[in-house]
Amino acid sequence: MAQIRNMEIKPIAHFRSPFKSKFGVPKQAGLVAELEGEIVFEPEYRNADALRGIEGFDYLWLIWEFSANRHAAKSPVVRPPVLGGNEKVGVFATRSPFRPNNIGLSSVRLSHVEWESSRGPVIHVKGADLMDGTPIYDIKPYVVYADCHPEARSGFVDERKWNKLQVEISDTVKTFLLSQGMTEEKIGILKEVLAQDPRPHYQKDPHKVYGMPYEGMDIHFTVCNQILTVVK
């Protein structure tokens, strides 16, 4: 009889992003293409040799942990947001964070490597769907001939179109955001984040004011008739 051995893994790095909580984090990698983040290695992995050749790749795979989950997943079925939160499908047919092992997989765009810093080599990426402080367990290069399958089916995802929200930011609110140190570029990225509809799928109250921690600020907004209005 084969011996069963449990594998122990530990983080090689942690992710730095504008999101201090999971509220507002894009539901999939790549949905907000210009959203910036950093991969900061643990001290024992701050070795430039480990990254030798990585700048030859445009995209990377990140293997990480859904560290914000506070309870163990027990159900074999989940309710994907793309199905409106009403239909159940098998957990292994989804990318739900509530799974037997809290492991996430994301493809991100490599922006550049900051070779000289007090934190060791830092990988700057774009388009990630990770909250700040997320543990990263491994990094692998995205290889087009092996990883790209443009003819592939995507199950129930192919049947449902994800509709973006229209985002409105008044001149008054924009002036306030600029006064708090947010640049025009970052306001544009914020609009893309909000267009993905960060609300839980079960909350559709047009009078509710939602709050989202982002870039060290609390962004407040309402949603009515597919229009999201930033109120602060």
Using CA atoms, how far residue 226 sits from 83, 155, 156, 185, 218, in Å, is 17, 26, 23, 24, 21
Looking at residue 84, its pLDDT comes to 76
Domain residue ranges of the chain, discontinuous segments joined by +: 13-147, 163-230
Spatial distance between the Cα atoms of 169 and 175, rounded to a whole number of angstroms: 10
120-172 pLDDT, tens digit each = 999 999 999 999 999 999 999 999 999 999 999 999 888 877 789 999 999 99
170-180 pLDDT, tens digit each = 999 999 999 99
pTM, entire model: 0.92
Residues 35, 126 contacting (CB under 8 angstroms): yes
Spatial distance between the Cα atoms of 160 and 87, rounded to a whole number of angstroms: 12
Does the structural domain 13-147 have CATH classification 2.40.30.70? yes
